[in-house]
Amino acid sequence: MQVVFESRDPEGARLRELAVQRARFVMRRLAWLVPRAKVQLSDVNGPRGGVDKRCQVELSTDGSGTVVITSLARDWRSALDSALARAARVLVRLLRRGQAHGRARPRAIASDL
């Protein structure tokens, strides 16, 4: 799985290795479904503080389109972990939904008595 990292914030750019490692770790079992992931870190309102650290995870999937998850938190790590956890849950739900629709439903056989 290819992981692309983007951040214009110098503080966020220092988390490049952590973000790539966390993305690969969380998606390790779903890597066959996700050939490309993009992680973006940004500070919404600059140095004023508060709940303003934004993490956006964009997953390009085979067959299910693109999944985009955004998370806001007080610190970078919380925003990253929250977005990755939600993205993994969405992928599992999409996978299960696809398997349920792809399966043939058993039909009741009427016997002639």
pLDDT given for residue 90 in this prediction: 92
For 45, the 3-state DSSP assignment is: coil
Q: What is the pTM of this model?
A: 0.79
pLDDT in tens, 48-101: 766 789 999 999 988 778 999 999 999 999 999 999 999 999 999 988 887 665
Where does residue 46 fall: left (phi above 0), alpha (psi -120 to 50 degrees), or beta otherwise? left
CATH architecture of 2-99: 2-Layer Sandwich (3.30)
**Which range is least confidently modeled, 3-7, 27-31, 36-40, 86-90?**
27-31
Q: What is the DSSP letter of 86?
A: H
Give the dihedral of Cα atoms 8, 12, 13, 19; nearest 10 deg. -120
Sign (positive or negative) of CA dihedral 75, 44, 61, 6? negative
**In the chain, pLDDT over 70 holds for what percent of residues?**
85
| Nearest alpha-carbon partner for 39 in 1, 74, 65 | 1
Contact in structure between 91 and 34 (CB atoms under 8 Å): yes
